[in-house]
Structure 1
Amino acid sequence: MRVYRICKAIYVPVALQGQGAAMVPGRWNSAGVRMAYTAASVSLAMLEMLVHMNRDVVPDGLRLLTFELPPDSVKELVKKDWPKGWDRLPYADAVRAAGDRFIADGNDLALRVPSAIAKYESNILINPAHEKIGKIKLILDEALPLDRRLFD
């Protein structure tokens, strides 16, 4: 499975180490829990990035990373198991607890979860401490110019 992540060039070597998520908790992780957020499509990766950006400045120097995950390494969080409030703001404790459990259990390299920004699309959470993390291949690292109209 291919997954996508956008970051500044300086962070490419550590893009899947989850350090940023541990410092600034997200929807699916608590403070101190390392997790790498990726998207199942390029367009979703862009939306996930844009929703957190200051619209006054068009960022430059961004990189679009394409990773190939090993076969059978992605577990899906099935709809009946989606935590209450998974798509709400502020982030729900139950959602963070579900993501924290995924990391703590250590059974799976990646977990497919629903995107709160683009219904019917998925984010792929990666456990940087999983024994198979080294089997993820960075297959493309390219410049990501952004259309100015996204910021108007």
Structure 2
Amino acid sequence: MTFLPIALGGTELLAWRLDQAVHAPTWDSGEGSYRVGGRWNSKGVRTVYCSLDPATAILEVAVHKGFRALDTVAHIMTAVVIADVGDVHVVDPETVPNPNWLRPGIPGAGQQAFGDDLLQRHRFVAIPSAVSRHSWNLIFLASRATGAYALKFQENFALDTRLHPPTA
């Protein structure tokens, strides 16, 4: 079944995440961002990164790992229901202090501090994706959002093999 986004008449706000199968049981731990930091969090902050559509979740992983890894290593797609849309703070791109933070590149300390502050003030933060300019990510602190979302499903991910064609 394909779930309609709220904007198209769906009844739930879904967030999507793609993980290696071995990490899928702990998808909402924020362990990876805790260990190394992320675009919107400093090292030591357990931030969970999701997307507001499954295609962006795939691109967010592919930009780091490549389509080969998505084709050859088992991954799980997770869909999560956000209980109250009012808990989501939407970042207006015009309010981001440095517009380069919304473009591909290595995040700096200022960007991570900006994200850390947002995450302390809001249960969920919707912020534009750097990978796909008109797409959105949803981030949250693992501890701050407890009970404010529910797992809808997890399923095996299958990459369209045209994205990793044979070499000539």
Q: Identify whether the pair has TM-score above 0.5, normalized to the shorter chain.
A: yes
Aligned equivalents of 1:22, 1:70: Cα separation in 2? 25
Inter-CA distance 47–70: structure 2 relative to 1 (3 Å threshold): same
Q: Does 1:93 align with 2:106?
A: no
Alignment correspondent of 1:119: 133
Unaligned runs of 5+ in 2: 1-12
Aligned equivalents of 1:34, 1:6: Cα separation in 2? 17
Matches within 5 A, 1:78-89: 78-84=92-98, 85-86=100-101, 87-89=103-105
Alignment correspondent of 1:102: 118
Aligned equivalents of 1:64, 1:53: Cα separation in 2? 15
Counterpart contact for 1:83–1:94, Cα < 8 Å: no
SS in 2 for 1:51: helix
Aligned equivalents of 2:22, 2:114: Cα separation in 1? 30
Larger Rg belongs to: 2
Aligned equivalents of 1:37, 1:127: Cα separation in 2? 9
The structure that is helix-richer by fraction is 2
Counterpart of 1:44 (choices 40, 43, 56) is: 56
Amino acid at match of 2:163: L
Q: How many residue pairs align between the two structures?
A: 149
Using structure 2 for the length normalisation, give the TM-score: 0.81
Unaligned runs of 5+ in 1: none
Q: Which shows bigger deviation, 118-127 or 81-90?
A: 81-90
Using structure 1 for the length normalisation, give the TM-score: 0.89
> Cα RMSD (Å) of the superposition?
1.6
Q: Which shows bigger deviation, 33-42 or 79-88?
A: 79-88
